[in-house]
Structure formats: structure tokens, C-alpha cells
Amino acid sequence: MKVRRRDLPRVRGRRSARAKYPCDVANSDVTNTQDPSAASGGTKSAPGSSPLQGITIGLDIGGTKTHGVRFEDGLPVADESAGSSNVQNVTREEAARNLADLFARIGAGPVARVYAGSGGIDTDEDAAALAALIQPLVPGARVTVVHDSRLLLAAGRADTGVAVIAGTGSAAWGRNAGGAEARAGGWGYLLGDEGSGYWLGREAVRHSLRRMNQGLPIDQLTAALLEACGLDHPNKLIALFHSPETGRRFWAQQARHVVEAAAAGHQDSTALLEQAGKDLAALAEQVLGQLGLDGPVILGGGLGMNVAPLQESFRRNLAAAGITEVRVLDQEPVFGVLELVAEAA
């Protein structure tokens, strides 16, 4: 879906397939200290010059896609997407191919710096591993890797507060004025990801199987799910769900059937979106409490930015806890790179 990017020129480019998690260890900016340019200080701005001078490549790496923007002296000039390069979702070989594809389109010339936000950056080692995939594509550039929720907060034009991602996965991360940071969720689909696309897709399967066990007829949500999966009976969802041919990204994509059914008045789908918003609000509350903040809370990710009933539930549940400074991200997270580069200078 197209998302309005306020305050920045719009650059059109090809789009492709997107989200995930932060961590306490990797909460500081992690620069690839294993590459020669970083070891020697990398490419830095001359005294008195803008920290955004030269070519900056911003990356937002989610569970479904890698979104890259090329900035020249702080202005976006190319905007492209490729498949995911999150190694928790694809192999290192596939991640490397997708990055190479993306950089072939946006990485020409003397790149000064690459700033990447990615799901699955839970340790400094995770950050260094991703930086090692990027560095060969931009020799001499300074490569910095952080978790993707940091991009979201910056893109929301907030120095402090809490960012909540609701995409393929879910997580919340925040920072207060004293520099303290905290997170909630971001454990991956086997341990959490409540309120995410994967969670909604899985719950649609569970809904369909419960109705089958209860002897109830196929309803609107189940019918849409079966058609999308190419199946003729709910019982076949069990094998498909556990099949190696499907995975986290596939089931996250099935969340659209919940959204569409809810829009058509399907009560159980509406209840699922309500629960998703409630669970995401709980993540935000936890981080706010840890940091002693009352806002702002910024909601992003594919679901968070585009599904109105989920947004309404999120706002309503936070309001019930006395949290009213809540907003939905109005530009894609990769544009937060400019703020982060300037902040680090």
C-alpha cells in the first residue's frame, strides 16, 4: 500500500514483498566494527559539514521485504524494495542475493554510509552478522545496524517515546530523556508476536478448525482462507500449516482475510482485530511503565499503519490506561534514517 511521506519529496520505485524485533543488548547503535572502514573510522563528515552530506543508503529490513532508499545530501533520490534479508526468515544465501539485488539498483557510486534497521537484531552478534552481508556491497562505507523499531520512533519524529511494530511480527521499543531504553515482545512467532500478521493468520486457521470440530458450517473467514490456500476442507489446514512449504511469511499474508471479513461484518474477525489492538497496547504500556513515560506512542508496521479497526482498538485500550498521546506512523520507517544519522554525528 502506498503511504504518504509528509515533509519529504516522494520518490517512486518498484515495490516488493515486510516486520520484527528489538533487544536490550542491541539497543545502542551497533556499527560494524569488523570491517576495515569502521575500524579506521569509516567515512565521516568533515568538520562544519552536514552529517547527511554524501550518499546514505537507508534500509528497513522486515520479515517480508527489504525497503531501501538512497539519499544524496539528505534528499531521497531512489526508492526500491527487494525480498527479505532478515536471516531469521530466509537463509544467509537468500539474504545476500536480495541485498545484492537491492544495492544494484540504489547503491552505485561512493556510498558514505549505510544505516539499516532490521527485525531479529537481538544481540551485537546479530548486528555484526548483518553488517557483514552489507559491507561487500559498499566498500569503504560505514555500516550501522540497529533493530527496526528504532527507525520507527525516529520516523515518527520523536526523540523519546515508544514505537510499536505490528507487521509480520510485533514488538515495542522505547527510550526516555535520560537515555534509558526498554522493549517488550519481539520474541518471534514461536514465543509471541501477538497482534501481528502471523498471529492473525494463525488465529484464522484456529478459528476454522474450531468450527470444524464443533460441526459448524464453513463461514466467510474460513471460505476465504480455504480458497487462498487452494484447499477444499478445513481439516487440510492442519497439514498445510505444519508443512515446510509454508512458513511465517505465508501465514502472515493470510491476515488480510481477517481484515476483509471484519470489514464485511464478520463478528469473529472483528473480535480478532480488537484483540490484536489490545495485545499491542499492552506491549506499549509495558515499555512506558519501564521508562516512566506517558507518551508518545507511535504505531507502525504494515498492519499498524493500514488497518483502521486495529488502530482504533489500540488507541481505545491505551486511552483506558490514561495514555492519550498516540499516533500512527505517516511515513515509512526507513525515512527515520535521516534523523538517526544526524543524531549520531
Q: What is the pLDDT of residue 148?
A: 84
Shared fold status for 25-156+331-344 and 160-329: yes
Q: Are strands 55-61 and 111-118 parallel, antiparallel or unpaired?
A: parallel
Note the pLDDT of residue 21: 30
| Paired sense of beta strands 75-83 and 65-72, if any | antiparallel
Which stretches of the chain drop beneath a pLDDT of 50?
1-45
Q: Would you state the pLDDT for residue 240? A: 97
**Amino acid at the residue 241:** F
pLDDT number for residue 48: 53
Judge whether 311 and 277 are in contact, CB under 8 Å: yes
With CA atoms as reference, report the closest residue to 329 among 18, 113, 14, 13. Answer: 18
Q: How far apart are CA 64 and CA 249, in angstroms?
A: 6
Q: For the chain, how big is the Rg over CA atoms in Å? A: 20
Measured CA angle at 78 (ends 76, 79), to 5 deg: 95
Q: Check: CATH 3.30.420.40 for 160-329?
A: yes
Per-residue model confidence as pLDDT tens digits over 306-324? 999 999 999 999 999 999 9
Q: Looking at domain 25-156+331-344, what is its CATH homologous superfamily?
A: ATPase, nucleotide binding domain (3.30.420.40)
Q: Which helix (H) or strand (E) holds 326?
A: strand 326-328
Of 32, 331, 339, 301, the closest CA to residue 186 belongs to 301
Please state the domain extents for the chain.
25-156+331-344, 160-329
**Spatial separation of the C-alpha atoms in residues 133 and 96, rounded to whole Å:** 6
| Predicted pLDDT of residue 9 | 35
Q: Is 116 in contact with 47 (CB distance < 8 Å)?
A: no
Q: What is the Cα 110 distance to its own chain's centre?
A: 28
Query: What sign does the dihedral 305-309-312-316 (CA atoms) show?
Result: negative
Q: How far apart (Å, rounded) are the C-alpha atoms in residues 42 and 186?
A: 31
Evaluate if pTM is beyond 0.85.
Answer: no
